[in-house]
Chains A and B, each alone.
Chain A
Amino acid sequence: MVIKQLSVFLQNELGRLEEVTDILYKHNVNISACSIAETAEYGVLRMIVSDADKAAAALKEDDFSVKISDVICVETPDVPGELHKSLQLLTGAGINLSYMYGYSNGGTARLIMKVSDPAKAIQLLK
């Protein structure tokens, strides 16, 4: 399914990430998945949260640069070759993958993917 991802631009400095989690905690927002892409001077924190709009508003209030984007969440059985099959389908349809992150638990794997065409990707991966 297509879901909302919240991302935050973070300067690479001690305690900056903790300020984000503090704000989310105070606004009672739960984080169900997250990843950080880092460069030498900044990082991009990407998260799936319980209420992306509320979290974005709270972070903006504190001058964070935030963005809500559409990503897809794909569920597959937690067995060898499943990710490969999904990627084959996307490649075959000419859909670009910008980044992804995920985890597996209890026999199911969940992947968050940023793709060039979320609606079409969801159709393919059903």
Chain B
Amino acid sequence: MIWNEPMECMSRDQMHDLQSRRLKDMVVRVYHNVEFYRRKMQELGLEPADIQTIDDLVKLPFTTKQDLRDNYPFGLFAVPKSEVVRVHASSGTTGKSTVVAYTRKDVDIFSEVVARCLCCSGVTKHDTVQVAYGYGLFTGGLGLHYGAEKLGAAVVPISGGNTEKQITLLQDFGSTVLACTPSYAAYLAEAIAEAGIDAAELPLRVGVFGAEPWSVEMRAKIEEGLKIKAFDIYGLSEIIGPGVSNSCEQQNGLHVAEDHFVPEILDPNTLKQVAPGVTGELVFTTITKEAMPLLRYRTRDLSSLDYSPCECGRSNVRMAKIFGRSDDMLIIRGVNVFPSQVESVLLEIPEAKPIYMLIVDRKGTMDTLEIQVELDEKYYSDEIVELNNIRNKIKHKVESVLGISVIISLVEHKTIKRSEGKAQRVIDKRNI
């Protein structure tokens, strides 16, 4: 099922025309209404008339998260405050929080793109959607909420956490769709099994998971644990929130709502566009948003683009499942390490749970990477030799994938903090 066929299935030429028209219009709006962009364009010697088609995108200046912080809270608004009907903000874990705003039309677009994503995941008006993303300043809860309502599904707005209640409502309300972060979905699967409930008996059939990078192996594990089909939803508050893109039943990339958000992939060093299929930094330009349109926003997420037609019938470009954030990437002894790589390895080892913590430190001039791994209680042994065998097996596999030596510490199960939202997996103790 396709929610908005005209917008999701048009030819590449039609999309080029639509994006060009919308970009032109948007550039005029930001030039006249946002001082930050007017100044940036003037510094580059650009006027709105220089932007005629979507191909002129490359002439435009970039926007970074720091720009949003510098203009905290309302400096990048392109409309009078009276037109704003909602604001959201990031948690600000890595600095001052970033604020985003929506006009009534923006809120409609938000609902529209999330409805598309849900439809892309096979959700219909007959479904009951349990929204276990946090409600509040975070865009996840309200985003999924209004999208599911727009689709006509029944929404259970339980928000994040409160695991026992989540399980009770999955049973009593017969929720057929679960929307939350993948790490919370994995935790919920664990909790359901522990409560002695057979996941296959639950009416739950679809998961719409996002807001943090997760591996293909993790997807398989969640699908197995909850007995569902799991879909990827991607988004970030700066662009709109969840709903920027979503995987379809082909599980081969996420279709981008490119009539609203135009993606580019750049080489992070040269900031030049790379060819389709090449991995680089994902950059978005919002071409319809009113309250806070952004030019070429650098997401720091790593992905690639595929413009070939998809079996599902959609012609919208597909972005590859996010491999990681360039921000998440650790450089240890000069080697790039992504937490998702560790996760993939752990999922292949039954003795280890895919719950881990990476602790990076520096001893003298040497970086060290300690990986704390929870030992599955089924494999606990009273013999140190056995435990060492398990540790060495994990160490060997992780090292062969990462290419650097690591310290594996087995820890008791349930001692690494479970996350109800975005999982915190790295502690970097280096003082550089």
Contacts and interface: CB of A to CB of B under 8 A. Distances in A.
Contact of B383 (A10, A11, A42, A98): A98
Interface residues of B, number: 17
Contacts of A64: 412
A90 B375 CA distance: 33
B387 A5 contact: no
B380 interface: yes
B375, B377, B415 — most chain A CB neighbours (10 Å):
B377
Contacts of B409: 41-42
B55 interface: no
B414 A67 contact: no
B380 A66 contact: yes
B385 A65 contact: no
B411 interface: yes
B384 interface: yes
A9 B385 contact: no
Interface in A49-88: 63-67, 69
A11 B411 contact: yes
B414 A63 contact: yes
A42 B413 contact: no
B377 A65 contact: yes
B410 interface: yes
A37 B381 CA distance: 12
Contact of B380 (A5, A9, A37): A9
A44 interface: yes
Given A65-B375, A65-B377, A46 B382 contact: yes
B383 A114 contact: yes
Given A9-B375, A9-B380, A63 B412 contact: yes
B377, B409, B412 — most chain A CB neighbours (10 Å):
B412
Interface in A97-120: 98-99, 114
A41 B410 contact: yes
A123 interface: no
Nearest to B410: A42
B384 A37 contact: yes
Contact of A65 (B383, B384, B388, B413): B413
Given A9-B375, A42-B387, A65 B382 contact: no
Contacts of B380: 9, 65-67
Interface of A: 5, 7, 9-11, 37, 39, 41-42, 44, 46, 63-67, 69, 98-99, 114
